[in-house]
A and B are shown apart, each in its own frame.
Chain A
């Protein structure tokens, strides 16, 4: 980094520890909030017992199930038990799959991770070069076209983008399959759909960060030294523009998890997002809870690591 003065190692270390401590605390609070909301919503939903019993079950049976679920105990106790179960990853048994809900969800996770990771890599591989090129050739036809597409990509609803891709590239052109999981050709359209927003955001951000750096004095100095434009961009510009790009990139990866619900439903991709929607329709609430909680956990852990990496990369951020 340019402009970074030599810092005293001890105080720098301490500030890093404080920074990480705050971030960890914040992550834990977020997780606690999510589980509390899940608990409140479940209690608002009314009596879960009839869902578990045949319609002609006697009252004694009803009382037994209610006791088994702990519903006869006071609400604070129920809450404590719930939080205890959450800590152990126990969300009850799936009503549909007849096995522990968390186990079901974990079984669907690889498909989601495969899709999310592909979408992410695709987005970065396309967006960073495009953004860079757009900045260097500012106001050229290429720049204007790329940024126009990026604007549309950023505001287009994911589900309709998926439908458009299926209509144009699968049904009309016949290039790619419409749905399901299989070889790489099954992955292209869902990954493109899921990654579109991320791609657009990263491309726009790369462009503006590079433009920002190109305005700096040291870039002018590098040019004045007679360095070629390629060297100026490669050595002096891109490295300095990388930090904001990296942060937003990391944050975007988390957003992809949320978008997976929609994309997986559009393309019948067998991941946790589609599982969540199907479980809602079959009223399999333990699975819905497990999906919500697991994605929250993934998302928060991921954000924590991004913060850590960011804090290590850029000492200025720790001061905040």
Chain B
């Protein structure tokens, strides 16, 4: 796309145009209809699998997208974030709105778009930039979208369809396929924006924090980590069933998502218990992974990188507190420490001790990094104990608690990393009225 004069267009749009949520919702509805077509579906699934997702996960993701684009879902989403009067909240004019009065003064409060939002998508996930921009559109913003240097065909498709089906969106949505290290272009885009939305790892977030001038809002959707927690009371219960569900979730996402389980913290200090849980977990992982021999060169390269890590870990276990349990095309590394870190992914998990009494102190160092926790066998706990444990995990920094099968399954109206995301793309304005 060529946007040589985007800067002047942008000012013009700010001055003369208004984008209402309703207009975006109906455009999304039409895109959703497109998504139901078989040839579009298969094209998008192949794009997503090229991006590294399993076919099952890609189909899953597409289904979620299709659901999300339905007008009734988007309406509910708007209602959840901005209240049942969301349409009048964003409607033009300041006459109607939520009224406040104090002595003889009267005020109206309404939601308004921030103005211009610059979205920086994560390199690791197709479609993120597109959906980030969609939230910006729903709140009436002009969206400048940086596509990863490697391209993001899914986001590009979504944007093109939206504009094709609702031409008005063309002056609210700009795609820029630029590289993150093209500092000049990045700074130019950031300078034009009211808010910079950044998805990605620490490095991407740090770079944005350093280059964005004060006064420009930064919305960070950084990398997060998720894990399972095994309370002492569940260790001897129906553990294998929970582990099977957890393994199935792991195989479904290959531990690539922020919500993917990286490993299990066990409520114990005994090395023997950890090893025992590790062996049972490995068995469950093998059920999912044993048949997954690498086929392509890319898969072999990945397998080799993991093999080098495992071999190195085995040798290091002679002088460090860790133990590697190898399975067919999967592994479990049992550590003596309680660090929270990404696993080797693709069915290579960790197990670590974390006694319930140390949950808060042990996890606080990672407070901004925690996302989902799945408590295994929570049904084995008494209600009060379960709720105490869950509150502790939330106090430590977790923002989502789910069952082992549903770590990466979302629902309509779910907050994102502990926030209602669209509210961050809008401002609450207050206007004194006569």
A and B found bound together: no
Residues of chain B touching chain A, judged by Cβ–Cβ distance below 8 Å, are none
Give residues in A with beta carbon < 8 Å to B.
none
